[in-house]
Every structure is written in structure tokens, then in C-alpha cells.
Copies of this chain bind each other. A is one copy, B any other.
Amino acid sequence: MVATEFSIISRYFSSLGRGEAVELGVGDDCAILRLGNDQRLATSMDTLVAGVHFPDDAFPEDIGYRAVAVAASDLAAMGASPLGITVALTLPEADEFWLTTFSEGLARAVSEYKLPLIGGDTTKGPLSITVQVFGSLPSKLALLRSGAVAGDKLYVSGTLGDAAGGLAFIQEKWRPQPEHADYMLNRFYRPTARLQLGKSLLDQATAAIDISDGLLADAGHIAAASGVRLDIQSARIPLSEALKSHPDETQARQWALCGGDDYELCFTLPPNLPTPAGCTCIGEVYAGEGVDCDLLVDTASGYRHF
């Protein structure tokens, strides 16, 4: 429901968000609640539905890990420090193998991201997992989508398009060379939430988002929230060696621009700041609106801006 998700939220639900403790409601990577004078809670919710957000035959350990990593990525995009998660698990039946392996994946991510499981709900029904993630923010700082200004530079972490390539592999639309196979699968099933990078950007970045819907779509959210135009130079977008091995370079670049699920950070920095480790400058911020990119993108799979 990606195409209509934003319209549903704004049409039906965004008027219900006023409250004394609400500092930031619907519309960024996390909501922010004020708790006391010097502490703020950053929180976000993500649902993964079988057959929609992961293949029906995905390994339960991967489902468990991925559900936590995807939610943790929203904390990273706010620069928040991890506090914990709750998990709502809806299962057709209490299958022991499924639960054991699922909880192993969950345990791995919980330990890796320092996100203890503090509660949840288990119900009977078609398989889906909802993770609520909790993080803390200092009293004044947060990475929002709305602070980019003309003159800033645009960056991404890691490499892009790998998750889309991994999904193509899973769906048997592409068979990468054997030495790249595990890497591609892991980039889809075991995304890395960039929590440390997010925290280190807290007093530096002017805007940030995690790339879940695809670079162009998510950069578009920064452009819209900040009231600026982003210019992306496609040749600067970092690709992994594995993705570069794809015989069709246009396809690889298109995944990097439009493929979702990479969970890298996309952010803007003032021009005087150095490039953070592991990140790449891919463009500039100008007055105007929308996202421009020199590479022609297939409209059907791309962002509506094109």
C-alpha cells in the first residue's frame, strides 16, 4: 500500500495528533514525545506482512532479524539512541520450529542494536509482525526531514540498490555470481540500521531520512519537508562490487535510485563539513522543489516526481 499510504495517513488520521506531550507527530521517521524537561522519546512503528514485505517462504530467523532492523533504522534516521522494542506477532499457529528460529533472529538483532524486547502481543491470524521501537533524544537535537537549506550537500551511507538486487535474486529474476550471492541475500534479509552514524550526525546534519522506499522517493520527502530542490548526480551514487557485477548497468543504477529496503541514511550537511566515514556525497541542495536526477528512470517503477 506504499502508493496510497501517505494519502491515507494525511486524509484520515493526521488531525488526531494534537496533545500536550506531542512534539512531533505523524510525518517524519519517528514521532517525538516530551517526557520531563530534559528527555524526549523517539518512537516508530513498522508492520511487515508475509507475502507483501517479505516472501512467504522467507526463513523465520531472517524475518525476525529484519523486522527489528527495519524499525531500528527509523531511530537511526532521527539520531536517537536505542531504548527497546515491543513486538506484536500474529501467527496462524504456534509452530515450534517457526517460533524458535524467529526468536533467534529477533535475539540477534536485539543484541546487535541494543534494543531489549520489553513487551508485545501474540495473536492468532495471518502472519504479520509489527515492531514498535523506542529511542531517546537529548532535549534539543533531532534529525528531521525538514532542515535542509540551499547550499547544503546531499549524502548517502553505504551502497544503494543492493536490497532490490537481493530481492531480484530471491525472485529468480537475477542470478549473481557465486561470490556475490550471500552478500546480495544478506543485504535484503539482514539490513544494517545505521544507528551510530545517525547519532554522530545529530549536531551536524540539517536533514535526514532512512532509505526504505528508494532513494528518489525518500530524497523527495526531504525536499518536500525542507522546501528545497535536491539535485542528484547518478554517477556518484555508490554501488557495491556485487551490484556492479550485474550485466545490465542501467538496471543496477535503477535499483540504486528506485529500489527500496536498503535502510541506508540519506542526509544533508552544510558545505563546510567533511564527508562522514562510509558515506558519499551524491548531490547538492538548491532553492526550488522536488528531486532532479540526470539519469532517466523508468516511470512505472520510479518515484512519481518523474
Residues of A at under 8 Å CB distance from B?
1, 4-5, 8-9, 11-13, 15-19, 21-22, 24-26, 30-31, 33, 35-39, 41, 43-53, 83-84, 86-88, 90-91, 94, 99-100, 102-103, 106-107, 110, 114-126, 128, 130, 132, 134, 136
> How far is A8 from B5 in the complex, measured between Cα atoms in Å?
32
12 of the cross-chain contacts (CB-CB < 8 Å) are: A1-B91, A1-B123, A8-B94, A9-B122, A19-B115, A21-B84, A31-B84, A31-B118, A33-B41, A45-B121, A47-B88, A47-B90
Which residues of chain B are within 8 angstroms of A48 by Cβ–Cβ distance?
123
A116 touches B1 (CB 8 A): no
Known contacts A5-B122, A90-B47, A91-B1, A21 near B117 by CB under 8 Å: no
Copies of this chain, how many? 2
> How far is A33 from B33 in the complex, measured between Cα atoms in Å?
13
Which residues of chain B are within 8 angstroms of A25 by Cβ–Cβ distance?
116-119
> How far is A50 from B124 in the complex, measured between Cα atoms in Å?
10
Known contacts A90-B128, A125-B52, A38 near B36 by CB under 8 Å: yes
Q: Which residue of B lies closest to A37 (CB)?
A: B36
A121 touches B47 (CB 8 A): yes
Q: Choose one: B13, B44, B106, B130; the contact of A47 (CB below 8 Å).
A: B130
B86 touches A43 (CB 8 A): yes
Known contacts A41-B35, A132-B132, A49 near B88 by CB under 8 Å: no
B134 touches A130 (CB 8 A): no
Which residues of chain B are within 8 angstroms of A31 by Cβ–Cβ distance?
84, 86, 118-119
Which residues of chain B are within 8 angstroms of A50 by Cβ–Cβ distance?
125
- Give the Cβ gap from A91 to chain B, nearest Cβ, in Å: 7
Which residues of chain B are within 8 angstroms of A37 by Cβ–Cβ distance?
36
Interface centre among A47, A53, A102, A118 (most CB of B within 10 A): A118
Which residues of chain B are within 8 angstroms of A26 by Cβ–Cβ distance?
117-120
- Give the Cβ gap from A47 to chain B, nearest Cβ, in Å: 5
Q: Which 5 A-B pairs have the closest CB atoms?
A: A19-B116, A49-B125, A36-B39, A31-B118, A31-B119
B22 touches A116 (CB 8 A): yes
Known contacts A88-B88, A130-B88, A52 near B122 by CB under 8 Å: no
B106 touches A41 (CB 8 A): no
- Give the Cβ gap from A229 to chain B, nearest Cβ, in Å: 28
